[in-house]
Amino acid sequence: MYYVNPYIRDCVRVFPEQGRYGQMRYDMNENPEGLPEEFVDSVRKEITPEFLSTYPEPDPFLEKYAAFVGMKKENLCATNGSDMAIRFIMETFSREGGEIVTVAPSFEMYWVNCSMLGRRHVPVQLNGDFTVPVEKLLEAVTEKADIVAILNPNNPVGKGYSLEDGRRLAKKARECGAILLVDEAYHYFQKESLLSLTGEFDNVVVLRTFSKLFSLASLRLGVAVSNPELITYLKKSTPSFEVNAVALLFGERILEHPDMIEELIRKAAEGKAYAVEALREKGYEVFPEAGNFIFVRPRKEISCLKEELHRRGVLVKSYGNDLLKDYLRISTGSRQAMERYIEEFLKAEEA
């Protein structure tokens, strides 16, 4: 009989739904519409046979991203989506049985990676009003912790962290010999970033992704930002060619278009504000969270409504946990994307 790593064998996975192309996708916090077509066409022209036959070189992208965040490329490690950065960070900076402290509910890959790697997940429940329990989080960080992972802002619910709370968490983590991982997948949709903590503390790493605002979920591009020493360790844990050349090319070209980035941010804010107001006007309870998503409490029973929406080609996310079981999470996009959503949602409520 062959050997199977018991942690992998016993890990419970639910893989993402297939057949989402052509559907109205409000379920995974992608940009429902994507980047401007003319931009995509112009970058596509650069993909030649030589380009495809050459192993990827991340440096030009890293130089541009470094300038974008005001750092050096030695502060950065590009990964195959921030998903892989989470894995590499856990493999590099935590030991078997070591504690990984997170808020709960949180992005599922934190507990999935704990389960796959045999780490001990320490979940700290969000407050009933969806605020982040910073004091409880601080208490949960002990000498047994290897990593404290926070999402700024939290997903699925919860706002971001103030710089001062970030500092307190980084300090406590350092006292306990732990890394503070700050996942900023959704930071473009709010004001504050904790990126500056990577310069203040030697144990902080910040993750960014190109899957959300930058609309490249298909290409898998994430960036870990930290001090050069921590990044050197992280890089050692990656394969030689971790990120593909098409992702690096699109990432580089996006960063060369600050006007397009501004427009993406503007459109996202406009669409979200419209959706919140339109749903509230219809008497719905809405929680506009800090990321590119909102929570709505429908009148219809959740699973029936979800099925009805699905029948209409509209994908949304629901949750089984007590805190969120009565709500739908809806990814937000441009005003046009949200008009389309609300029209279908109201019809589905009445069907």
Ligand X SMILES: Cc1ncc(COP(=O)(O)O)c(C=O)c1O
- Output 221 or 231, the one with its CB closest to ligand X: 221
N- to C-terminal Cα separation, the chain = 54
- Output 158 or 271, the one with its CB closest to ligand X: 158
Q: CB of 311: closest distance to ligand X in angstroms?
A: 25
Q: CB of 329: closest distance to ligand X in angstroms?
A: 11
Q: What is the distance between the alpha carbons of residues 197 and 251, in angstroms, rounded to a whole number?
A: 24
Binding to ligand X by CB under 6 A, coded x per residue (else -) over 199-238, reads ----------x-x-----x----x----------------
Residue 16 exposure: Cα atoms within 13 Å on the Cβ side = 13
132 binds ligand X (CB under 6 A): no
Q: Which of 61, 65, 88, 107 binds ligand X (CB under 6 A)?
A: 107
Sequence-distant contacts of 91-95: CB under 8 A, at least 24 apart:
91/117, 91/237, 92/233, 92/234, 92/236, 92/237, 93/146, 93/147, 93/179, 93/233, 94/119, 94/146, 94/147, 94/179, 95/146
Stretch that binds ligand X, among 32-40, 75-83, 281-289, 325-333 (CB under 6 A): 75-83
Let me know: does 150 contact 181? Beta carbons within 8 Å: yes
- Output 98 or 222, the one with its CB closest to ligand X: 222
- Output 290 or 314, the one with its CB closest to ligand X: 290
Q: What is the distance between the alpha carbons of residues 351 and 345, in angstroms, rounded to a whole number?
A: 10
Instruction: Tell me 95's DSSP state.
Output: -
- Output 24 or 348, the one with its CB closest to ligand X: 24
Q: CB of 117: closest distance to ligand X in angstroms?
A: 17
Stretch that binds ligand X, among 32-40, 76-84, 134-142, 257-265 (CB under 6 A): 76-84
Q: Which residues are within 8 A (CB) of 77 and not within 5 positions of it... i.e. 6 or more apart?
A: 85, 88, 223, 224, 226, 231, 234, 235, 238
Which residues 134-153 are close enough to bind ligand X by CB under 6 A?
Answer: 151
Let me know: does 278 contact 286? Beta carbons within 8 Å: no
Stretch that binds ligand X, among 59-67, 79-87, 163-171, 263-271 (CB under 6 A): 79-87
Query: For the residues of 24-86, what is the DSSP string, one character each?
Result: EE-SS-S-SS-S-HHHHHHHHTT--HHHHHSPP--HHHHHHHHHHHTS-GGGEEEESHHHHHH
Q: Which of 26, 29, 243, 345 binds ligand X (CB under 6 A)?
A: 29
Q: Which of 82, 198, 226, 238 binds ligand X (CB under 6 A)?
A: 82
Q: How many residues bind ligand X (CB under 6 A)?
A: 13
Identity of residue 120: R
Q: Which of 185, 249, 290, 342 binds ligand X (CB under 6 A)?
A: 185
183 binds ligand X (CB under 6 A): yes
Instruction: Tell me 189's DSSP state.
Output: G
189 binds ligand X (CB under 6 A): no
Identity of residue 63: E
Which residue reads 């419209």 in tokens?
Answer: 274
- Output 185 or 245, the one with its CB closest to ligand X: 185
Written as six digits, the tokens of 294 are 């909102």
Burial of 180 (0-12, 13-18, 19+ CB in 10 A): buried
- Output 71 or 182, the one with its CB closest to ligand X: 182
How far are the Cα atoms of 105, 185, 247 from residue 130, in angstroms, in the given order? 10, 19, 35
155 binds ligand X (CB under 6 A): yes
**Residue with the closest Cβ to ligand X?**
81
Q: CB of 292: closest distance to ligand X in angstroms?
A: 10
- Output 112 or 231, the one with its CB closest to ligand X: 112
188 binds ligand X (CB under 6 A): no
Binding site for ligand X (CB under 6 A): 29, 81-83, 107, 151, 155, 183, 185, 209, 211, 217, 222
